[in-house]
Amino acid sequence: MSEEVKNPITEKIESTKGGHFYKEIMKDFRIKESLHGCLNCGTCVANCPAAAFYDYSPREVCQMMIEGDEETIEEYMKSKIWNCAQCFSCKYRCPKENSAADIVMTMREIAVREGLAAEALAGYTRIAKLVLTRGNQLAPDMLSPDAFPDWGPRMIELSSKKMEMREELFKGFPGMNVVDRAWAAEDFTIYEMQRIWEESGALEKVGTVFPFLVDIVQDDMEDKKEEMEAKIEAKKAKLAAAGK
Amino acid sequence: MKTVLVIGGGVTGLKASHELAEMGYNVSLVEKQDYLGGQVAKHKYYKLAPDMRLVSEVLDPVIKNVESNSNIKVHKHSTITALSGNAPEFKVKIKNSKGESEETFGAIVVATGFEHFDPTVKQEYGYSRFKDVVTNAEVEELLNPNGPTKGELKRPSDGKIPKKVAIFQCVGSRDKQVGNPYCCRVGCVVSTKQAIEIKEKYPDTEVYVYYMDMRMFGRGWEELYGKAMEEYEVIFTRGRGAEVTLKNQQLSLRAEETIMDRPIQHSVDMIILAAGQAPGDGTIEAAKILGIKQNEYGYLAPKDDFLSPNESSKAGIFIAGADKGPLDVENCIVEGAAVAAKVASSLK
């Protein structure tokens, strides 16, 4: 008997549809509202700010989910979906009322959960660290002029005296007179925030993408634990005394 | 009773009136405008696809057949305002500028037709903001030698002949965002026809058609599509027109070239929106006054789409033409004849 000759494309679709990632995405409640077939008209791509500059196509996202090819989905979760700016232009223009942006949002959550996002998000490590340790994500120091050529030559001038400018702008707001973060939150506020992340499991989730950041945050918490927990107890006592 | 009221003096109503009159019925034709011919006359349609036949060759005889028939009484500038009674004795109030009168009819034919979709609601196309974004109906008037530009495609902003023209398909059709998921059934062939007319008159003008699917199902339509590509070099790009902007007096459109998988920007001198069909105000009003069923888009719903396509939900009231859904001129005339036969057999 001669060997069976298979069409490589057909085989690919048949053999992988309905894989694990596909099922995980499809069972999310948002997908039902976000995918109603696709006319392949390209309206989403034409309106998409990300598609104009990066390797990303909202139409491909919809088509991929209709086809359900596991390999393609995995590939997308590792890279392309992270190019979406989440502006939702596709949703408000699609003649079928699909929302590639919602599909991407769902896929991103699953990618994080399934450990597929680390490489795509590596560039965000600094931002994540600042959020987890200082409570805000962007600092004037991070906006170096050479990284933002589109902001023009004025950017170079402004960045050379950012501290002076902030002092002038935020007179009487000492928390704002910093350039290594957007504003200085109080230690107690940051500690409370970190506790919430720990208790809610958010920190653990962050660990699937930035494992070493979890240690940094835990160290950060450990340093002020004694002082902060005492403050929390005092606060509790005060509330109890007030009869609340 | 051998009297029939026909509401609507477009091609469907005209054909129905004529056929009924020929069979010996007394017909009253009510038309709200002061001219006959409906949308075809209103927008001065110039040529008909796929034969490029002059509209006047079709519309003039249809109107003449009605106006010269002594069995037909034409009420122009008139509307119906109330209905009482049942089949086969309807009492209908007809209103014109002189006043209101009540007449009795054995049957009623509703041929109130469609209106062109108003693209103003598709804000991203800039219609009514940018002068050189026009509708396909406006292009019919521009191309008509009896129109405002005497048949020259002068763009509204400066009267110049455009060197690059883009046509957007499916404006207000196949679009849930505006509540019209249905196909307009004429846009593809009308745009192809207009593209050929433009290329014939101005061979140096480039014509681009942005489409999702070319639905060339009618008689001779596919051949016309082939001709547009092969003989006239009209460029068909698969991707729906998505957005129009104006920069330095230059129109710029965005779309995706879906076959090449790339977003594109394209500077053009004029954009024609192939606006689809929507049930006209007249159709919606008639349905309300007569108490007949409409479908979810406002079109009139036949009693049974397959078995009684020209009967409304109410006995003795018949429906025909583009008030039942998007339709082309050729098939409106077929509908007019079909409804006449159904009315005749019901009044026997």
Q: If you write DSSP's letter for every residue of A186-199 in order, what string do you get?
A: -HHHHHHHHHHHHH
Element (H, E) at B134: strand B133-135
Q: Which residues pair with B270 in a beta bridge?
A: B165
Of A40, A47, A95, the CB nearest to B177: A95
Evaluate whether A66 touches A40 at the Cβ level (below 8 Å).
no
The domain ranges of chain A are 8-116, 124-135+185-244, 140-181
Chain A residue with Cα closest to B178? A95
Of A47, A48, A95, the CB nearest to B174: A95
Report pLDDT for A14: 61
Instruction: Provide the pLDDT confidence category of residue A6 given band limits of 50, 70 and 90.
Output: low
Best residue in B215, B237, B240, B243 for a mutation probing chain A (most A CBs within 10 Å):
B240
Yes or no, beta carbons of B261 and A40 under 8 Å apart: no
**pLDDT tens by residue, A62-100:** 999 999 989 999 999 999 999 999 999 999 999 999 999
Q: At what angle do helices B11-22 and B329-346 cross, to 10 degrees?
A: 40
* CATH 1.10.1060 is the classification of domain A8-116: yes
Report pLDDT for B326: 97
Of B124, B240, B254, the CB nearest to A41: B240
Hey, which residues 200-219 in chain B have their CB within 8 Å of chain A?
Answer: 212
Of A46, A96, A97, the CB nearest to B254: A46
Q: Which two tokens stand for residue B191?
A: 């745009």
Report pLDDT for A142: 82
Instruction: Provide the pLDDT confidence category of residue A184 given band limits of 50, 70 and 90.
Output: confident
Domains located in chain B, CATH noted? 3-115+278-346 (3.50.50.60), 118-275 (3.50.50.60)
**HSE of B215, CA atoms in CB hemisphere, 13 A:** 12
Number of residues that this document lists for chain A: 244
- Before B50, cis peptide (omega within 30)? yes
From the centroid of its chain, how far is CA B255?
27
Checking if the pLDDT of B194 tops 80, the result is yes
Of B124, B175, B256, the CB nearest to A42: B256
**pLDDT tens by residue, B248-296:** 899 999 999 999 999 999 999 999 999 999 999 999 999 999 999 999 9
Checking if the pLDDT of B147 tops 60, the result is yes
Instruction: Provide the pLDDT confidence category of residue A7 given band limits of 50, 70 and 90.
Output: low
Report pLDDT for A161: 87
**pLDDT tens by residue, B151-162:** 999 999 999 999
Checking if the pLDDT of A199 tops 90, the result is yes
Distance from CA of B214 to the nearest CA of A (A): 12
Report pLDDT for A44: 97
Yes or no, beta carbons of B242 and A47 under 8 Å apart: yes
Q: Any CB–CB contact under 8 A between B254 and chain A?
A: yes
**HSE of A208, CA atoms in CB hemisphere, 13 A:** 14
Checking if the pLDDT of A1 tops 60, the result is no
Chain B residue with Cα closest to A98? B176
Tokens 């057909």 -> residue: A10
Best residue in B122, B175, B237, B252 for a mutation probing chain A (most A CBs within 10 Å):
B175
Instruction: Provide the pLDDT confidence category of residue A141 given band limits of 50, 70 and 90.
Output: confident
Chain B residue with Cα closest to A96? B176
Checking if the pLDDT of A13 tops 70, the result is no
Report pLDDT for A178: 87
Task: Share the mean pLDDT of chain B.
Answer: 97
Query: Worst-scoring range by mean pLDDT, A132-146, B36-50, B87-101?
Result: A132-146
Q: Any CB–CB contact under 8 A between B177 and chain A?
A: yes
Yes or no, beta carbons of A42 and B240 under 8 Å apart: yes
Yes or no, beta carbons of A59 and B242 under 8 Å apart: no
DSSP 8-state secondary structure symbol assigned to residue B144: S
Contacts of A97 in chain B (CB under 8 A): 176-177
Task: Share the mean pLDDT of chain A.
Answer: 89
Amino acid at residue number B41: A
Whole-complex ipTM = 0.89
Of B185, B136, B161, B143, nearest in space to B54 by CA: B143
Q: Any CB–CB contact under 8 A between B258 and chain A?
A: yes
B264 vs A114: CA distance, rounded Å: 35
Evaluate whether A25 touches A107 at the Cβ level (below 8 Å).
yes
**pLDDT tens by residue, B77-110:** 999 999 999 999 999 999 998 999 999 999 999 9
For residue B334, what are the contacts with CB-CB under 8 A and spacing of at least 6? Answer: none
Task: Map residue B152 onto helix, strand or coil.
Answer: coil
Task: Map residue B93 onto helix, strand or coil.
Answer: strand
